[in-house]
Protein backbone atom coordinates (compact mmCIF):
# COMPACT_ATOMS: atom_id res chain seq x y z
CA UNK A 1 0.00 0.00 0.00
CA UNK A 2 1.30 3.40 -0.86
CA UNK A 3 0.05 6.45 1.03
CA UNK A 4 1.33 9.72 -0.16
CA UNK A 5 2.14 13.17 0.88
CA UNK A 6 0.91 12.76 4.34
CA UNK A 7 0.68 9.53 6.16
CA UNK A 8 -2.58 10.96 7.26
CA UNK A 9 -3.44 8.72 4.61
CA UNK A 10 -1.17 10.56 2.50
CA UNK A 11 -0.79 11.50 -1.07
CA UNK A 12 -3.82 9.86 -2.55
CA UNK A 13 -2.34 10.62 -5.96
CA UNK A 14 0.69 8.44 -5.33
CA UNK A 15 0.02 6.88 -2.01
CA UNK A 16 2.20 4.74 0.19
CA UNK A 17 3.02 1.18 -0.68
CA UNK A 18 2.58 -0.76 2.49
CA UNK A 19 4.83 -3.80 2.34
CA UNK A 20 2.30 -5.84 4.26
CA UNK A 21 -1.16 -5.02 5.46
CA UNK A 22 -4.65 -4.15 4.28
CA UNK A 23 -5.65 -4.11 0.62
CA UNK A 24 -5.17 -1.00 -1.44
CA UNK A 25 -8.96 -0.76 -1.75
CA UNK A 26 -9.10 0.43 1.86
CA UNK A 27 -6.69 3.25 1.01
CA UNK A 28 -8.86 4.33 -1.91
CA UNK A 29 -11.93 4.34 0.30
CA UNK A 30 -10.16 6.41 2.94
CA UNK A 31 -8.93 8.89 0.35
CA UNK A 32 -12.41 9.22 -1.12
CA UNK A 33 -13.83 9.85 2.34
CA UNK A 34 -11.28 12.57 3.01
CA UNK A 35 -9.73 10.71 5.93
CA UNK A 36 -7.06 12.66 7.76
CA UNK A 37 -5.39 9.82 9.62
CA UNK A 38 -3.92 6.38 9.15
CA UNK A 39 -3.78 3.69 11.77
CA UNK A 40 -2.89 0.01 11.72
CA UNK A 41 -2.64 -2.88 14.14
CA UNK A 42 0.50 -4.87 14.92
CA UNK A 43 1.18 -7.91 17.04
CA UNK A 44 3.75 -8.42 19.76
CA UNK A 45 6.77 -8.97 17.51
CA UNK A 46 5.32 -7.79 14.20
CA UNK A 47 7.05 -5.20 12.06
CA UNK A 48 5.06 -2.98 9.71
CA UNK A 49 6.82 -1.31 6.80
CA UNK A 50 5.82 1.36 4.31
CA UNK A 51 7.52 2.53 1.14
CA UNK A 52 7.42 6.19 0.15
CA UNK A 53 8.79 7.74 -3.03
CA UNK A 54 10.79 10.78 -1.93
CA UNK A 55 12.91 13.20 -4.00
CA UNK A 56 16.40 14.00 -2.80
CA UNK A 57 17.06 16.67 -0.17
CA UNK A 58 13.47 16.48 1.08
CA UNK A 59 12.51 16.67 4.74
CA UNK A 60 10.09 14.09 6.13
CA UNK A 61 8.35 14.36 9.50
CA UNK A 62 6.42 11.51 11.09
CA UNK A 63 4.17 11.68 14.13
CA UNK A 64 2.73 8.59 15.78
CA UNK A 65 0.96 7.44 18.92
CA UNK A 66 0.08 3.98 20.16
CA UNK A 67 -2.91 2.42 21.90
CA UNK A 68 -2.85 -0.94 23.66
CA UNK A 69 -5.80 -3.35 23.52
CA UNK A 70 -7.38 -4.00 26.93
CA UNK A 71 -8.63 -7.60 26.92
CA UNK A 72 -10.84 -7.10 29.97
CA UNK A 73 -12.60 -3.93 28.82
CA UNK A 74 -12.25 -4.87 25.13
CA UNK A 75 -11.23 -1.35 24.18
CA UNK A 76 -8.03 0.38 23.14
CA UNK A 77 -6.50 2.33 26.01
CA UNK A 78 -5.89 6.04 25.36
CA UNK A 79 -2.19 5.71 26.30
CA UNK A 80 0.38 2.94 26.58
CA UNK A 81 2.94 3.79 29.26
CA UNK A 82 6.02 1.60 29.22
CA UNK A 83 5.70 0.64 25.58
CA UNK A 84 8.21 1.81 23.01
CA UNK A 85 8.38 1.97 19.22
CA UNK A 86 11.48 1.43 17.14
CA UNK A 87 11.58 3.40 13.88
CA UNK A 88 13.95 2.46 11.08
CA UNK A 89 14.28 4.22 7.72
CA UNK A 90 16.29 2.91 4.76
CA UNK A 91 17.08 4.74 1.55
CA UNK A 92 16.76 3.19 -1.96
CA UNK A 93 20.29 1.77 -1.66
CA UNK A 94 19.45 -0.03 1.59
CA UNK A 95 21.47 2.31 3.80
CA UNK A 96 19.99 3.08 7.20
CA UNK A 97 18.98 6.74 7.36
CA UNK A 98 17.33 6.57 10.78
CA UNK A 99 17.26 3.87 13.44
CA UNK A 100 16.06 4.94 16.84
CA UNK A 101 13.82 3.86 19.69
CA UNK A 102 11.05 6.19 20.81
CA UNK A 103 8.34 6.12 23.45
CA UNK A 104 4.70 5.18 23.05
CA UNK A 105 4.10 8.54 21.37
CA UNK A 106 6.68 10.47 19.42
CA UNK A 107 7.92 12.25 16.36
CA UNK A 108 10.73 11.31 13.98
CA UNK A 109 12.42 13.41 11.31
CA UNK A 110 14.84 12.65 8.50
CA UNK A 111 16.05 14.20 5.26
CA UNK A 112 16.43 12.16 2.09
CA UNK A 113 19.75 12.35 0.26
CA UNK A 114 18.99 9.79 -2.45
CA UNK A 115 15.86 10.00 -4.62
CA UNK A 116 13.64 6.94 -4.77
CA UNK A 117 11.72 4.51 -2.59
CA UNK A 118 12.43 4.90 1.13
CA UNK A 119 11.37 2.12 3.48
CA UNK A 120 9.89 3.20 6.80
CA UNK A 121 9.46 0.41 9.36
CA UNK A 122 7.95 0.47 12.84
CA UNK A 123 7.81 -2.26 15.47
CA UNK A 124 7.22 -2.42 19.21
CA UNK A 125 10.32 -2.52 21.37
CA UNK A 126 9.37 -2.19 25.01
CA UNK A 127 10.81 -3.09 28.41
CA UNK A 128 7.30 -3.99 29.58
CA UNK A 129 6.33 -6.52 26.95
CA UNK A 130 4.52 -8.60 29.59
CA UNK A 131 1.69 -6.07 29.46
CA UNK A 132 1.50 -6.44 25.71
CA UNK A 133 2.05 -10.21 25.49
CA UNK A 134 -0.36 -11.77 23.03
CA UNK A 135 -2.23 -8.51 22.59
CA UNK A 136 -2.72 -5.96 19.84
CA UNK A 137 -1.31 -2.51 19.45
CA UNK A 138 -2.96 0.22 17.40
CA UNK A 139 -0.53 2.71 15.87
CA UNK A 140 -1.74 6.07 14.57
CA UNK A 141 0.69 7.43 11.99
CA UNK A 142 0.91 10.81 10.27
CA UNK A 143 3.75 11.48 7.81
CA UNK A 144 4.36 14.82 6.13
CA UNK A 145 6.69 15.19 3.14
CA UNK A 146 8.33 18.28 1.67
CA UNK A 147 6.59 21.61 2.15
CA UNK A 148 3.82 19.86 4.08
CA UNK A 149 6.33 19.22 6.85
CA UNK A 150 6.68 22.95 7.53
CA UNK A 151 4.77 24.46 10.42
CA UNK A 152 3.83 27.78 8.82
CA UNK A 153 2.03 29.32 11.83
CA UNK A 154 5.19 28.72 13.86
CA UNK A 155 7.38 30.15 11.06
CA UNK A 156 5.16 33.24 10.84
CA UNK A 157 5.34 33.83 14.58
CA UNK A 158 9.10 33.27 14.71
CA UNK A 159 10.02 35.44 11.71
CA UNK A 160 7.19 37.94 12.31
CA UNK A 161 5.81 37.55 8.78
CA UNK A 162 2.69 39.23 7.50
CA UNK A 163 -0.04 37.16 5.89
CA UNK A 164 1.19 38.17 2.43
CA UNK A 165 4.80 37.31 3.27
CA UNK A 166 3.75 33.97 4.72
CA UNK A 167 1.75 33.17 1.60
CA UNK A 168 4.73 34.07 -0.57
CA UNK A 169 6.90 31.80 1.58
CA UNK A 170 4.44 28.95 1.10
CA UNK A 171 4.40 29.47 -2.67
CA UNK A 172 8.21 29.50 -2.82
CA UNK A 173 8.34 26.25 -0.83
CA UNK A 174 5.75 24.69 -3.13
CA UNK A 175 7.69 25.74 -6.22
CA UNK A 176 10.87 24.28 -4.73
CA UNK A 177 9.08 21.01 -3.97
CA UNK A 178 7.64 20.87 -7.50
CA UNK A 179 11.15 21.38 -8.88
CA UNK A 180 12.40 18.48 -6.75
CA UNK A 181 9.52 16.31 -7.98
CA UNK A 182 10.35 17.18 -11.59
CA UNK A 183 14.03 16.39 -11.04
CA UNK A 184 13.03 13.06 -9.52
CA UNK A 185 10.74 12.25 -12.46
CA UNK A 186 13.59 13.03 -14.86
CA UNK A 187 15.83 10.77 -12.79
CA UNK A 188 13.26 7.96 -13.01
CA UNK A 189 12.85 8.53 -16.74
CA UNK A 190 16.61 8.28 -17.25
CA UNK A 191 16.79 5.07 -15.23
CA UNK A 192 13.88 3.60 -17.20
CA UNK A 193 15.53 4.56 -20.50
CA UNK A 194 18.82 2.95 -19.47
CA UNK A 195 16.98 -0.18 -18.36
CA UNK A 196 15.07 -0.32 -21.65
CA UNK A 197 18.24 0.12 -23.69
CA UNK A 198 20.01 -2.57 -21.68
CA UNK A 199 17.05 -4.94 -22.12
CA UNK A 200 16.87 -4.29 -25.86
CA UNK A 201 20.60 -4.91 -26.19
CA UNK A 202 20.36 -8.19 -24.29
CA UNK A 203 17.41 -9.30 -26.46
CA UNK A 204 19.41 -8.45 -29.59
CA UNK A 205 22.45 -10.43 -28.46
CA UNK A 206 20.25 -13.33 -27.39
CA UNK A 207 18.62 -13.38 -30.85
CA UNK A 208 22.05 -13.32 -32.50
CA UNK A 209 23.23 -16.16 -30.23
CA UNK A 210 20.14 -18.22 -31.09
CA UNK A 211 20.72 -17.65 -34.80
CA UNK A 212 24.38 -18.67 -34.54
CA UNK A 213 23.44 -21.79 -32.55
CA UNK A 214 20.82 -22.76 -35.16
CA UNK A 215 23.32 -22.28 -38.01
CA UNK A 216 26.01 -24.32 -36.22
CA UNK A 217 23.48 -27.02 -35.39
CA UNK A 218 22.38 -27.17 -39.05
CA UNK A 219 25.98 -27.44 -40.25
CA UNK A 220 26.71 -30.20 -37.72
CA UNK A 221 23.58 -32.13 -38.76
CA UNK A 222 24.50 -31.86 -42.45
CA UNK A 223 28.06 -33.08 -41.81
CA UNK A 224 26.76 -35.90 -39.64
CA UNK A 225 24.27 -37.02 -42.29
CA UNK A 226 26.94 -36.80 -44.98
CA UNK A 227 29.29 -38.99 -42.90
CA UNK A 228 26.44 -41.45 -42.28
CA UNK A 229 25.59 -41.77 -45.96
CA UNK A 230 29.25 -42.11 -46.90
CA UNK A 231 29.71 -44.84 -44.29
CA UNK A 232 26.71 -46.72 -45.72
CA UNK A 233 28.06 -46.10 -49.22
CA UNK A 234 24.81 -44.42 -50.21
CA UNK A 235 26.64 -41.46 -51.69
CA 163 – CA 169 distance, rounded (Å): 10
Residue 9's pLDDT band, with cuts at 50, 70 and 90, is very low
Whether residues 60 and 115 share a domain: the answer is yes
Q: Under a CB-based contact definition with an 8 Å cutoff, are residues 22 and 40 in contact?
A: yes
* pLDDT at residue 133 in the model: 54
Task: Write the pLDDT tens digit of every residue in 105-132.
Answer: 888 989 888 888 899 998 886 545 455 5
Q: Is the pLDDT of residue 178 over 70?
A: yes
Mean pLDDT of all residues in 65-82: 78
Q: Does some domain include residue 231?
A: no
Q: Do residues 130 and 185 both lie within one domain? A: no
Structural domain includes residue 93: yes
The answer to whether residue 197 is domain-embedded is yes
Question: Within a domain: residue 111?
Answer: yes
Contacts of 14 (CB under 8 A, 6+ apart): 2, 4, 5, 53
CATH code, 119: 2.60.120.380
State pTM to two decimals: 0.58
Q: Residue 8 domain-assigned? A: no
Among 52-66, 117-131, 167-181, top mean pLDDT goes to 52-66
Residue 134's domain comprises: 37-150
Q: Are residues 112 and 170 in the same domain?
A: no
Are residues 127 and 172 both part of a single domain? Answer: no
Amino acid sequence: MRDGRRARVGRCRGGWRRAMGRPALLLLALCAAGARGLYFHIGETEKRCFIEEIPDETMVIGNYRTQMWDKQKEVFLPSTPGLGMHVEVKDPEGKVVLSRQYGSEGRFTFTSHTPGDHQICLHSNSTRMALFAGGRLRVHLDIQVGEHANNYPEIAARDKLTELQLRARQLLDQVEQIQKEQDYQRYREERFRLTSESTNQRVLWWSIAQTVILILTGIWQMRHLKSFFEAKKLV
